[in-house]
Each structure stands twice: as structure tokens, then as C-alpha cells.
Amino acid sequence: MQTERQKEIISVALNLISEKGIQGLTIKNLSKEIGISEPAIYRHFESKIDILIAILEFFKKNTELIFKAELSNEANAIKKLEHLFLNHFATFSITPSMVSVIFSEEIFRNEPLLIEKISEVIATNDKILTSIILAGQNNSEIRSDIEAKNLSIIVMGSLRLFVKKWQFSNYSYNLLEEGTKFFDTVRLIIKK
């Protein structure tokens, strides 16, 4: 389990990445933001890499929770996808700094250990999304003239860019509200 301080460090680290990019995440900035000295950080994490790993672990748990919840859901495929979208929008609305992590492939580029963890998360989510779409196709809810694999790219790509635009606008509008409307267009595109 994590201590309160560890959770605080991860939260502040996420904010730093979100605001200034990965180059903004330094032990100095971290300690300044929290209000303790630099060495005090090392009382809670062995190294900076350990902090990054903890961030990815947090992200992994979070998205896997969202994705896997849909698998065991009784709803139809499109409802599942809608849930998936809206759950993401809700998460990002509460913790905008998480948006940076969804694009973390560009951020965590040094340590092989980090790259491996990211790849895992992406592969898992991709598999779940594709399997939901496939089920919807077998079900005649979702159009079958396009391979599930490709539909998955279109759906996920749209989600990503939509969120990215929100981030780029400086979170200037209500993501959950606008995202709900946007999913209506995604639905039109994938439905049978």
C-alpha cells in the first residue's frame, strides 16, 4: 500500500507533467511544490524512476478498471463503448493531469522498464476494445463491413484526439458534456 505522502508525490508529479511536460518533473520542482526538501522525497521513493513507475502503475490500474468493468457488463456493445468513453471523460474531468499519461508513449521514453509497462497497458486496452466491437458485430449492433481491428483504431483515435483538443484548449469547456455529444457522432458511425 501507499502512504499519504507517496500519494501526494504521485499527484503532484502528475500535475507537473501535465503543466510542463516530462521535463518539468524534477525532484526540485516536486519538493518545492509539496513544501519539503529534496532529500525528503527519497524518504518515500528510492529513485525518480520509482516515482515514474508508480505513476504508470496508477494509470494502469485506473484504465484497466474502466476497461475490464465493461467486459463483465451486461449491456449491449454500443452501450459498453459509451460507458467506456464517458468513464474516460469523467476521469479526465476530475484529474486533468491524467490526460498527459494517456499520451505517455511520448513522455516515458528512456527507461525500458517504463516502455514495457506502457506497451502492456496499450495492448490490453486494445484487445478489450476490439473484443467489445467484435461482439457487437456478431450481435448485428455494429456494422460488419469494417474489420473490428480497424473500427477499434477509428474509435480509439477519435477518443484520443477529442481529449487532446480539450487539453489543448486549456480545459476550457466541460469535457463530459461535450464528450457525451461527441459520442453521438461516434455511435452514428459504428452502428449497423
Partner DNA sequence: TGTAAGTTAGTTAATAATAACTAACTTTGA
Partner DNA sequence: TCAAAGTTAGTTATTATTAACTAACTTACA
What does the binding site for a second copy look like in residue numbers (CB under 8 A)?
20-24, 100, 103, 105-107, 109-110, 119, 122, 145-147, 150-151, 153-154, 156-162, 164-165, 168, 182, 185-186, 188-189
Nearer CB in complex with a second copy: 44/97: 97
- Which stretches within 21-147 are classed as H helix? 27-34, 38-41, 48-71, 77-94, 98-102, 112-138
Please state, in angstroms and rounded to a whole number, the distance separating the CA atoms of residues 154 and 81.
Answer: 13
Asked if 53 touches DNA (CB under 7 A), the answer is no
Produce one character per residue of 121-143: b if its CB has 16 or more CB atoms within 10 Å, e if not: beeebeebbbebbbbbbeeebbe
**21 DSSP assignment:** -
Residue 142 sits at φ, ψ, to 5 deg, of -110, 140
Asked if 44 touches DNA (CB under 7 A), the answer is yes
Question: How many CA atoms lie less than 13 Å away from 52 in the CB half-sphere?
Answer: 25
Pair 39, 46: CB distance under 8 Å: no
Q: How far is the CB of 33 from a second copy (least distance, A)?
A: 17
Residue 15 sits at φ, ψ, to 5 deg, of -65, -40
Nearer CB in complex with DNA: 22/156: 22
Nearer CB in complex with a second copy: 46/106: 106
Stretch that binds DNA, among 45-53, 57-65, 85-93, 133-141 (CB under 7 A): 45-53
Nearer CB in complex with DNA: 26/180: 26
Q: Give me 186's grid cell.
A: 461516434
Q: How far is the CB of 131 from a second copy (least distance, A)?
A: 17
Using the rule CB under 7 A, which residue among 7, 11, 48, 122 binds DNA?
48
Query: Residues interacting with DNA, by CB under 7 A?
Result: 3, 5, 25-29, 31, 36-44, 47-49
